[in-house]
Chain A
């Protein structure tokens, strides 16, 4: 079920209504049934994988809980069982064909005749999210950071909690498990705050992301038909599309959980205002970046090692993070590029003040910050090309023709050569659609700028009539400007 679907419009109020009507002891049952129904609405059979993952990790957790910290070595086989089963599910459903194809290509290159097997399996929705959530539970139990959960139902709910099941935030047991047992009373302020966040998330998804998608797809699905300006516009649009798509989902997930009294972790903190790649990753998909930090980067040694090893740790963490996103070389290159950018940032960190000082920019800290933010945005966009492109060949074409085709494309647009103005400037849409897309991006940037500068819009302190009018206007705006094709969220495929 999609948050932006008609079905969810019926499902969510029903679940929330029943949740607050039921006595506390039955609420977990309602949420568990609702969560499985939410998942099974997509493909009923795939709930079995969710169930298997739940039972295996519950058992592993309970078995590890039998041993004290001094007997940690006895926990190890159970940890391995949990990791192998979760990674096994991931490899089988998500990466098998990638490895298979790569082996076949390599064999062909070596002149060896080998026909690799391939399976036509549908990727279970949200598999990368819930397997990572369960793995973090097992690792935390192994290290004794949390006690294993005894209640199978609560544990199953922790894995399948519908607001964050299919696209995160990837929650930690330490944060969510306890909340699932707590009693949450109806609280008007909290419920309206959750609904506000859901509405904002919905607006980001249907008004911004899905509108931009029409234009981005036009270019990225046939990139060789374009050069210069349209490639640049489509890439910038994609940067906003993926941000609004994914952060919109996170907002709706966090908002939906908040309505029922649960506090999920923050997943995005205005990432395009980052002034360094390190800062970008402290603001983008926070639940995943902290997962990789805690369960991969730090176990590898983190920064408490010799320099080359530190850089290696950073690089490998980002490459694996890229691979997590999808079984395609484009995602690996995307991750690797971020790793390289981050390492480059660390290498020049001590000298980075020299250039601004030499050109007098250091005296204008706000302008300097603005230029840093712009530079990081350009680097991030460059990496997004690989993330969005259908193949490495397409990505290389786009990167190379963004600049090389710039003057030709400007000429084509100015002089309307071959009638290309509309197709190249408005990316196949009408002038009105293009201007609306630009307008909603500006609106987003304005709102985020206000939030970034902690200029809080004190909506809650306004008179009720003004608030109602404002919310009504937003709902009407979503209805009039949103795209309601029930397009899936990009991150569902991961």
Chain B
């Protein structure tokens, strides 16, 4: 038995050595992303690096936005600042409630917002992948919350990203110059990413032939939304759920939108949160051609129309805003 245990230990030690060697070689001389379970996206899409670096310096804001690309490309903090409301956009690519939870744990106390606005796009509620977690860990400092995120998700890909991120920051701290720039949209201080394109890149034919989508939920994501509600309640932060507007065609492609509405309504009731679905709420007239860049991301004209309405809704829900 002793011989067996010592051999198993030796095999595991060799396995760790092979792992380190393979990852280090590819990281140095090739592309570490060739390994299916190793992903490291420093400075990748969505300007997460710049956003998280800026977030570290922010304190005592009034409104905090969290969610996926629809958030960082749809909630323009400058429009809030113009009205004297300090805001920060903490959206990242494909961010799920699970990712939002750990980002909030990391930042909520320091931001100390009056209100957290969380987008509940239907596709994100079904998401079980860890791509967004990889994006966040690749672009942030190692912290207890990041370690806890990896522990709870139990996905080797996240663990690998954490190890790589840790190893990298040991040799070279994160630097904003590592951020890749994207032609399609530019980072704006405050977390928003602005696009200057004025017309939808999808043709009307492509938009009208979107594949039907059946809404489903991943129980894990619903549980994390409940945990976010608890976290906000602990810190006495008002939580507002929103569904950012998408093209009418995309909304209509959801075969069971009623089921989706029922799920988020129940979540809002359980969480004691307000819920505004801007795909249903009257008063927002958006053109699929000019107010959107694709099926679900707003163009700047769409952002302005949407944010104007959102702002007045938030002021109604939280009358103390900007006072």
Contact = CB atoms under 8 A, between A and B. Distances in A.
- The 4 A-B pairs with the shortest beta carbon distances in the complex, nearest first, are A472-B14, A476-B18, A475-B15, A472-B15
A479 B156 contact: yes
Contact of B17 (A195, A472, A477): A472
Interface stretch (B34-42, B74-82, B230-238): B34-42
Contacts of A316: none
Interface in A138-186: 186
20 contacts: A20-B1, A186-B1, A188-B4, A191-B4, A192-B4, A192-B7, A433-B36, A464-B7, A468-B14, A471-B14, A472-B10, A473-B14, A475-B15, A475-B18, A476-B18, A479-B37, A480-B35, A483-B36, A484-B37, A484-B154
A211 interface: yes
Contacts of B167: none
A6 interface: yes
B24 interface: no
Given A192-B4, A471-B11, A476 B35 contact: no
Interface string B136-176: 00000000000000000011100000000000000000000
A188 B3 contact: yes
A480 B1 contact: no
A455 interface: no
B4 A480 contact: no
A473 B18 contact: yes
A143 B247 CA distance: 70
Interface of B: 1, 3-4, 7-8, 10-19, 22-23, 33-38, 128, 154-156
Given A480-B37, A484-B156, A472 B1 contact: no
Q: How large is the interface on A (under 10, 10 to 19, 20 to 34, 35 or more residues)?
A: 20 to 34
Contact of A432 (B8, B12, B34, B128): B34
Contact of A468 (B11, B16, B33): B11
A363 B12 CA distance: 51
A6 to B, nearest CB: 6
B78 to A, nearest CB: 35
Contacts of B19: 476, 479-480
Contact of A481 (B1, B10, B33, B37): B37
A20 B18 CA distance: 32
A61 to B, nearest CB: 37
A405 interface: no
A464 to B, nearest CB: 8
Nearest to A207: B36
A462 interface: no
Contacts of B36: 211, 432-433, 436, 480-481, 483
Contacts of A211: 36
B11 A472 contact: yes
Given A471-B15, A479-B156, 17 more contacts: A186-B1, A188-B4, A432-B33, A432-B36, A436-B36, A472-B13, A472-B14, A472-B15, A472-B18, A475-B11, A476-B16, A479-B15, A479-B37, A482-B37, A483-B36, A484-B154, A484-B155
Contacts of B155: 484
B7 A476 contact: no
Interface in A447-494: 464, 468-469, 471-473, 475-477, 479-485
B129 to A, nearest CB: 9
Task: Tell me which of A188, A464, A475 has the highest count of chain B C-beta atoms within 10 A of its own C-beta.
Answer: A475
A475 B13 CA distance: 10
Nearest to A486: B154
Interface in A183-203: 186, 188, 191-192, 195
B12 A475 contact: yes
B12 A480 contact: no
A64 B171 CA distance: 75
A6 B159 CA distance: 14
Contacts of A471: 11, 14-15
Interface string A429-445: 00011001000000000
Contacts of A485: 128
B15 A481 contact: no
B52 to A, nearest CB: 26
Contacts of A472: 10-15, 17-18
A469 B156 CA distance: 22
Contacts of B22: 476, 480
A473 B15 contact: yes
Interface in A257-292: none
A197 B69 CA distance: 45
A468 B154 contact: no
Nearest to B9: A468
A479 B19 CA distance: 8
B156 A476 contact: no
Nearest to B10: A468
Nearest to B33: A432
A433 B157 CA distance: 15
A482 B35 CA distance: 10
Contacts of A186: 1
A476 B15 contact: yes
Most buried by A among B3, B14, B17, B22: B14
Contacts of A6: 154
Contacts of A477: 18
A195 B4 CA distance: 11
Instruction: Point out which of A211, A468, A482 has the most chain B C-beta atoms below 10 A from its C-beta.
Output: A468
A83 B119 CA distance: 56
A432 B4 CA distance: 37
Contacts of A188: 3-4
Nearest to B157: A484
A211 B15 CA distance: 21
Contacts of A195: 8
A6 B152 CA distance: 12
Interface string A1-19: 0000010000000000000
A472 B20 CA distance: 12
A469 to B, nearest CB: 6
A469 B37 CA distance: 21
A66 to B, nearest CB: 45
A481 B11 contact: no
A85 B34 CA distance: 53
